[in-house]
């Protein structure tokens, strides 16, 4: 019994070798708050996590024919996962609004569900603030559904 206790005490925690992983997706977005007109828009994103739960994110959010959208770059953290089928990520971003040329800051939560092979569906909810001055600054709350390729 002493040998078993010593073996457990000496054995470190096992860390799985995490390969480079991420996803790229495109889909539709629904702007619930701060739409300035139409609420249904497009969205595209790319995220990469190099051998870690942390990674980088590039996104073009809430664009359509009349709105140029917002371009964001930021960090992403894999908060939970039941790989390879389910991943829940938290993301924080900085960027700018292409329509008004105002800086933007925001973040949200994204759930990615694997469907078949490398294809999946990502559901995202985010809150973004476009910062100009007190009169023209605005908040945008958006949800999106994206078709993603995962690796």
Contact (Cβ atoms closer than 8 angstroms) between residue 57 and residue 45: yes
Give tens-digit pLDDT for 60-109. 999 999 999 999 999 999 999 887 899 999 999 999 999 889 999 999 99
> What's the whole-model pTM score?
0.84
Give tens-digit pLDDT for 12-36. 444 556 789 999 999 999 999 988 7
Q: What is the dihedral of CA 110, 113, 116, 121, to 10 degrees?
A: -40
């Amino acid at each position: 019994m002493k040998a078993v206790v010593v073996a457990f005490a000496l054995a470190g925690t096992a860390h799985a070798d995490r390969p480079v992983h991420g996803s790229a997706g495109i889909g539709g977005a629904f702007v619930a708050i701060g739409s300035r007109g139409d609420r249904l828009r497009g969205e595209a994103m790319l995220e990469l996590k190099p051998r870690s739960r942390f990674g980088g994110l590039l996104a073009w959010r809430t664009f359509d024919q009349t709105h140029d959208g917002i371009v964001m770059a930021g960090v992403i953290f894999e908060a939970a996962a039941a790989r390879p089928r389910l991943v829940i990520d938290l993301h924080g971003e900085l960027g700018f609004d292409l329509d008004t040329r105002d800086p933007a800051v925001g973040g949200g939560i994204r759930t990615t569900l694997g469907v078949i092979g490398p294809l999946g569906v990502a559901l995202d909810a985010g809150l973004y603030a476009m910062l100009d001055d007190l009169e023209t600054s605005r908040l945008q709350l958006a949800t999106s559904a994206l078709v993603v390729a995962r690796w």
